[in-house]
A = this chain, B = another copy of it.
């Protein structure tokens, strides 16, 4: 399984390569990170990397797959879930944000390399995930639960918040990842709901569900 931030003490060399590579890719970009830097961070020599991965590209490809596997899991669950668009959007945000905060790997670089031709085949799944998010927003606007406005604005802002969260809080242990996730989700819901006062009720309902399940 994908390691969490609390498990970084007991990683295999392969996992430590993924961890250090993810941090360096986040800081200096995929192209801007050399295999020597990754190896140095892991504590091995540069050619030893190639015993665990056939190329630098496959290290990045595995990080992309880790990110997409979890995002797909959450998106599929909320697509089939019960509840109004607001409740499902709230649950989706909390699940995604707390995964980002808990995952040991810093997945910031994933989205930015999807424009690179080397990873073009990974892009379709990313687009599908974006579409699933937009669909919830459109449903909320159509039903009158969300304020009447361009769904693309809310969709963009949510994308940017998730991206910002990945970049700024990924990979570092967060004091209280759950509370942070709820605060961010509440911020978005306040902006989006036709009746912003419903935020507290939605938050309480989702927290109850999570404590039971």
Question: Which chain B residues border A154 with CB–CB below 8 Å?
Answer: 187
Q: List, in ascending order, chain B residues with CB within 8 A of A191's CB.
A: 187-188, 190-191
By a CB distance below 8 angstroms, the chain B residues around A128 are none
A159 at the interface (CB under 8 A from B): yes
Given contacts A115-B27, A164-B163, contact A187 B157 (CB under 8 A): yes
Bound complex: CA of A154 vs CA of B168, how far in Å?
14
Counting every copy of the chain, the complex holds 2
State whether B32 touches A183 (Cβ < 8 A): no
Chain B residues in 8 Å Cβ range of A147: 190
Which of A27, A157, A159, A167: most chain B Cβ within 10 A?
A: A157
Instruction: Return chain B residues, CB-CB under 8 Å to A74.
Output: none
Asked if A190 and B187 make an inter-chain contact with CB atoms under 8 angstroms apart, the answer reads no
Contact-residue bracket for chain A: 20 to 34
- Whether a CB of chain B sits under 8 angstroms from the CB of A161 is yes
- Say if the beta carbon of A73 comes within 8 Å of chain B: no
> Could you tell me the distance in whole angstroms from the C-beta of A92 to the nearest C-beta in chain B?
17
Given contacts A147-B190, A157-B161, contact A28 B29 (CB under 8 A): yes
Q: What residues on B are CB-neighbors of A157 within 8 Å? A: 161, 164, 184, 187
Kindly list chain B residues whose C-beta atoms are within 8 Å of the C-beta of A161: 157, 160-161, 164
Return A134 CB to nearest CB of chain B, in Å: 15
Residues of B within 8 A of A156 (CB): 164, 168
- Shortest C-beta distance, A127 to chain B (Å), equals 14
Q: A161-B164, A163-B164, A191-B191 are in contact. List 12 more A-B contacts (CB 8 A).
A: A28-B32, A29-B29, A29-B31, A31-B32, A153-B184, A156-B164, A156-B168, A160-B163, A160-B165, A163-B167, A164-B164, A190-B191
**Contact residues of A with B, CB < 8 Å?**
27-33, 112, 115-116, 147, 149-150, 153-154, 156-157, 159-161, 163-165, 167-168, 183-184, 187-188, 190-191, 196
